[in-house]
Chain A
Amino acid sequence: MSANSGNSEVLLRMEGIHKWFGKVHALKGVDFEVKKGEVVGLVGDNGAGKSTLIKVISGYHRANEGKIYWVGQEVKISSPKDSRALGVETLYQEQALAPHLSIARNVFMGREPSRALGFMDKQTMNNDSMEALAAIGLHLRSPDVMVSTLSGGERQGVAIARAIHFEAKMVILDEPTIALSVKEVQEVLDFVQELKEKGIAVIFITHNLYHVYSVADRIVVIAHGQELANMQTKDTSVDQISKIIVRGTLGEEV
């Protein structure tokens, strides 16, 4: 029944994933694996297939071929709803939050608690959203604050607090540090550490190798729709990964 290779800790396992967009072969049989509580850095050049792979996991794209296993069970992910039901939270840059809504309304977007007669339980929304933020070390003034008035790092924090509050098993961060100041980047990397400590797996997609190197357990390089390298962070260096990406090969001579 279990398809994983005897490793009970595997959370997500993808085998032979193919994806075509018309004539474009975006993913050419990718195998990808994430263990429970593991932080995986997903890197590669523009158009390498990183986002396509992520969108297959989050249910925005359906793979044309291949199998997906979740904790050893084969699953079909055909909509964001399916992905979310498994416990996957995908945080796309600038797409995770509604900027003109309050923190509380964002944290509970689509999952608003309700009381008798279907009224939103604003009290619970306010208290729980503040608690969730405090749990990752973010102390904001009020749950009524509009998200657009927060800093970039704080916004990522709201999205991550939401993932933790709803007990996500895996969080996908798509370029979470792009366009952030140095201080805010550090905040976001701390949030990732927080997720890891809570046993939540993270897929961290980025162009910035230094950011990913400091938090990832493992780094996967994708090029031309295929996995090019898959290394434990401790066995590699930023320099080596960067060479692999630039050359587009494993670079045996290194």
Chain B
Amino acid sequence: MNNDNRIMGFLSRNRIAGTVVILIAVVVVATFRSPDNNFIRVANLKNLGAFGSEFGIVALGVGLLMIAGEFDLSVGSVLAFCALVFTWSNELSLNPFIGLLITLAAGVITGLTNGLITVRGKIVSFITTLGAMMFWRGLTLWLSRGEMRAVNLDAYPAFTSLFTGDWFGFFPAQAFWFLLLAVILTILLHFRRFGNWIFSTGDNALAARSMAINTDRVKITSFIIVGVLVAFAAVIQTTRLSAFSSRVGTGWELSAIAAAVVGGTSLRGGIGNMVGIFMGALIIIVIENALVLARLPYEWTYMAFGLVILFSVLLDLLIERRIQRAST
């Protein structure tokens, strides 16, 4: 029993070890199985760093929110809506830095709405954000009539190189922002009081409330963090594409949850790790990229994500069971 405790103690504190193994495995497979060694080509890795980071930034927020015990299925639609907001700011010839601020404000509003409806209405966030997912996508399609639009930022090279440039000729700016945000969120989640409130709220909201933690405010704030991250991702994505499309972000809501889960985040809240979520996002990005390089049909991507989720959930279940056995 003591032995069992030690193993589980290690695994529960080092659940991240499982994520590292999966990450190495997908990278190795992608490297050796991609046709003509496409995967490890510099051009591909730069691409990966650029557009993969856009998704990664969203996944960081989704994972944080899951630790607080809530889901956000609206991230893909909010991404499209925020892209439209940024596009408008461009069409109005506003400075893109102003456009960025306006778009971030839109992200705050979408996150706040999700949070308020979930918390005040005491409705499961799976449902409220499912509604939001349809609403924001529908609104975006209606307002844009589903048309592509050009976004021209040629007059602002400082802006484009800050968010989408190739730094020192090889380092994609997006990857820097992804890393920076991951570091900031790691500090917030693991080293600050608010992080402990997020964990407590997700793990046992009753206990948190009886310790005078305002769990409603913790959840709303977490929703807003997601909204802001999605808005930021929308701005850098629109800048990279130099265009608006109402279809961006479709399917991201579920891939982001997959990233969080494979990174060791519990579907029931209260368990998770920002470094794990970061690596989980990398796993999803690499799988998607490798399958595209292998010219496999897109359905394969969904199947791969499905397997990744199932595997991670089963692993967590195993750990949880053995912890319980060890304690009795």
Contacts and interface: CB of A to CB of B under 8 A. Distances in A.
Interface of A: 58, 80-81, 84, 90, 92, 95-101, 105, 108-112, 114, 118-120, 122, 144-146, 148-151
Nearest to B203: A98
Contacts of A101: 196, 199-200, 203, 270
A109 B213 contact: yes
Interface stretch (B8-16, B84-92, B176-184): B8-16
B191 A100 contact: no
A98 B201 CA distance: 8
A97 B207 CA distance: 6
A96 B323 contact: no
Interface string B190-227: 01110111011001101111111100000000000000
Contact of A110 (B9, B200, B203): B200
B324 interface: yes
A95 B200 CA distance: 11
Nearest to B12: A146
B326 interface: yes
Contacts of A97: 204, 207
A110 B204 contact: no
Given A98-B204, A99-B203, A149 B8 contact: yes
B271 interface: yes
A224 B268 CA distance: 38
Contacts of B192: 114, 118-120
B207 A120 contact: no
B5 A149 contact: yes
Interface of B: 5, 8-9, 12-13, 187, 191-193, 195-197, 199-200, 203-204, 206-213, 266, 270-271, 323-324, 326-327
Contact of A95 (B187, B196, B204, B323): B204
Nearest to B268: A100
Query: By DSSP majority rule, is chain B's interface helix, strand, loop, or mixed?
Result: helix
12 contacts: A58-B210, A96-B207, A98-B270, A100-B270, A101-B200, A101-B270, A109-B213, A110-B200, A110-B208, A146-B12, A149-B326, A151-B327
Contacts of B196: 101, 105, 108-109, 112, 120
Nearest to B193: A112
Contact of B212 (A80, A92, A105): A80
Contacts of A114: 192-193
A92 B206 contact: yes
Given A98-B208, A105-B199, A150-B327, 17 more contacts: A84-B211, A96-B207, A97-B207, A100-B266, A101-B196, A101-B270, A109-B213, A110-B197, A110-B208, A110-B213, A111-B211, A112-B196, A120-B191, A120-B196, A144-B13, A149-B323, A149-B326
Contact of A96 (B12, B210, B270): B210
Q: Which one of B8, B195, B196, B197 has the highest number of Cβ atoms from chain A below 10 Å of its Cβ? A: B196
A119 B323 contact: no
A151 B208 CA distance: 21
Contact of A118 (B193, B199, B211, B271): B193
A95 B210 contact: yes
B211 A110 contact: yes
A40 B187 CA distance: 45
Nearest to A90: B210
Contacts of B8: 149
B211 A109 contact: yes
B204 A99 contact: yes
Contact of A119 (B191, B197, B266, B327): B191
Contact of A100 (B5, B197, B203, B208): B203
| A92, A101, A145, A151 — most chain B CB neighbours (10 Å) | A101
A99 B327 CA distance: 12
A90 B266 CA distance: 28
Contacts of A111: 211
A98 B207 contact: yes
Contacts of B212: 80-81, 84, 110
B328 to A, nearest CB: 8
Contacts of A58: 210
A43 B271 CA distance: 37
B199 A149 contact: no
A80 B323 CA distance: 32
A84 B211 CA distance: 8
B27 to A, nearest CB: 29
Nearest to A85: B212
Given A99-B203, A110-B200, A114-B193, A146 B210 contact: no
A111 to B, nearest CB: 7
Give the residue among B209, B210, B213 with the most A Cβ atoms within 10 A. B210
A84 B210 CA distance: 9
Contacts of B327: 148-151
Nearest to B266: A100
Contacts of B195: 120
B270 A146 contact: no
